[in-house]
């Protein structure tokens, strides 16, 4: 991806200070998504990175990850599986808890969402500390799926989330090196 394209995507993302709590600068991608050409380019750049890999299914983490993941699944011509936050799935599910700065959270997947041996691409909008993505990968592995890649629109490199995801192909389009 060319540097100009990265800057164009980055410039379309709005910073929202003190959200969801004081001291956090939230990267709001809705301002990028509303621009059809930039939304399409984001999905196309992710597709370009993974199109030569064998991928049986795309999973994505709630909620903004669903937007990118579903579009990428469509482009790859594979199915889509949502990984949800607590108490959102109606059928039998697996749960993986993970730590936050201020407590714990959990993600869930239906027990029949991934068949053993499936090649799985995980998608989310943002990589911060990596806890949510790691929990999602653990769910995929519990179902005996193989994580072939983890794709993000944005990576906050200064939080070192990539370190939790060592051993997997982690790909992000936009990297913020400092707060």
Tell me how far apart the alpha carbons of residues 162 and 131 are, in angstroms, rounded to a whole number: 10
Catalytic annotation on 64? yes
Which of these is catalytic: 3, 51, 52, 101?
101
CA dihedral 141, 166, 85, 111 (to 10 degrees): 0
Which of these is catalytic: 62, 64, 96, 155?
64
Residue 23: φ, ψ to 5°: 95, -15
Tell me how far apart the alpha carbons of residues 177 and 13 are, in angstroms, rounded to a whole number: 15
DSSP 18: T
Catalytic annotation on 179? no
Cβ neighbours for 64, distance < 8 A, ≥ 6 positions apart: 29, 124, 125, 126
Catalytic residue numbers read 64, 101
């Amino acid at each position: 991806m060319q540097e100009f394209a990265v800057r164009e995507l980055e410039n379309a993302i709005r910073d929202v200070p003190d959200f969801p709590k004081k001291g956090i600068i939230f990267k709001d991608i809705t301002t990028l998504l509303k621009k059809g050409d930039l939304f399409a380019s984001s999905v196309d750049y992710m597709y370009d990175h993974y199109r030569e890999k064998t991928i049986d299914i795309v999973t994505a983490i709630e909620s903004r990850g669903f937007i990118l993941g579903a579009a990428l699944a469509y482009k790859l011509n594979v199915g889509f599986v949502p990984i949800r936050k607590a108490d959102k799935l109606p059928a039998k599910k697996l749960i993986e808890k993970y730590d936050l700065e201020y407590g714990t959270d959990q993600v869930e997947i239906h027990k029949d969402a991934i068949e053993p041996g499936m090649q799985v691409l995980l998608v989310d909008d943002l990589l911060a500390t990596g806890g949510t993505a790691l929990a999602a990968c653990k769910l995929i592995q519990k179902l005996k799926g193989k994580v072939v890649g983890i794709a993000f629109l944005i990576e906050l490199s200064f939080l070192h989330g990539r370190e939790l995801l060592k051993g997997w192909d982690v790909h992000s389009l936009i990297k913020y090196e400092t707060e």
